[in-house]
Amino acid sequence: MRGFILAAGLGTRLRPLTEVLPKPLVPVAGVPLMQRAIGQLADAGVGEIGLNTFHLGAQIADFVGDGAKFGVRTTVFDEAPAILGTGGGLKNAEGFLRDGGDAFVLANGDVWHSFDLRVLLAAHRRDALATLAVFRAPHRPELHQVFIRDVGQGRGEVAHIRGAPQQTPSDFAVIYSGVGIYSTRLLDLLPGGGVEACLVRQGLVPGMAQGLRVDTVELSGAWFDCGTRAEVLRASAYALRLRASAEPRA
């Protein structure tokens, strides 16, 4: 199974920092988000990783190189002159993703988490369109936009996303963490031709409308959406505490 990191975003909420530094290279506790994302995929056994770039993409490509310094092989898909969105970026890398088998691991390049991705890999069932790692963060109620039906043991099935399909009274809301396993069947749903597309609106939602199942799993650990300076600082403080607790005492 191959991995893919979405790294083309403009980082508008982090300006002026992201006017000179692409969001995936923003450091959390001294470690760039991209470095951590690659390391976590590698720890889960993913050795072939693709990533899309657009804004200040040359910096990301230079940082990643061929992936050897991280113990993986990387392929960069630059989207200049036009950003393709979360769905268009995957469609642009369709050949790379399909060559890795019938599913791939997707990670957003602007999140910090402490999930064990091996648990996510083990949870994915081949007949599902996707298995999403979900999270609950009481301090970010605006992000709870994925409604799921509980099937027990920390697992669920997506009932609707942002209002589509129809919500039922028993559904409860969670955050999609930006990390998931996706069947390559998702690529069949996305428009080709190098147009901008959304992974959710033009991939997951139409797939669910066709009767394809989208599973969820709640993973233990911490999660931060590092799209704002406040969340970068929160993630950094947490990471430093985690690091300190792991250091051997004299």
Which pTM was predicted? Answer: 0.92
156 assigned to some structural domain: no
> Bigger pLDDT: 201 or 168?
201
Question: What is the Cα–Cα distance from 95 to 16, expressed in whole angstroms?
Answer: 36
Q: Which residues have C-beta within 8 Å of that of residue 136, sequence separation ≥ 6?
A: 144, 174, 175, 218
Give me the numbers of helices (H) and strands (E) for the chain, helices first please: 8, 13
Number of domains making up the chain: 1
8 assigned to some structural domain: yes
195 assigned to some structural domain: yes
56 assigned to some structural domain: yes
For position 75, what pLDDT does the model report? Answer: 97
112 assigned to some structural domain: yes
> What are 75-130's pLDDT values in tens digits?
999 998 999 999 999 999 999 999 999 999 999 999 999 999 999 999 999 999 99
b/e map of 122-156 (b: 16 or more CB within 10 Å)? ebbeeebbbbbbbbeeeeeeebbebbbeeeeeebb
Can you say whether the dihedral through the CA atoms of 94, 44, 119, 218 is positive or negative?
Answer: negative
17 assigned to some structural domain: yes
Q: What angle do CA 172, 173, 178 make, to 5 degrees?
A: 140
Query: In CATH, what number is assigned to the domain containing residue 185?
Result: 3.90.550.10
> Which residues are paired to 225 by β-bridges?
111
> What are 211-242's pLDDT values in tens digits?
999 999 999 899 999 989 999 999 999 999 98
170 assigned to some structural domain: no
**Domain span holding position 32:** 2-136+177-246
Average pLDDT for the chain: 90
Tell me which residue has tokens 């979360």: 86
Question: What is the Cα–Cα distance from 249 to 226, expressed in whole angstroms?
Answer: 31
162 assigned to some structural domain: no
E strand intervals along the chain: 2-6, 27-28, 31-32, 48-53, 73-78, 103-108, 111-113, 130-135, 146-152, 155-161, 172-183, 214-218, 223-225
Question: What is the Cα–Cα distance from 111 to 140, expressed in whole angstroms?
Answer: 14
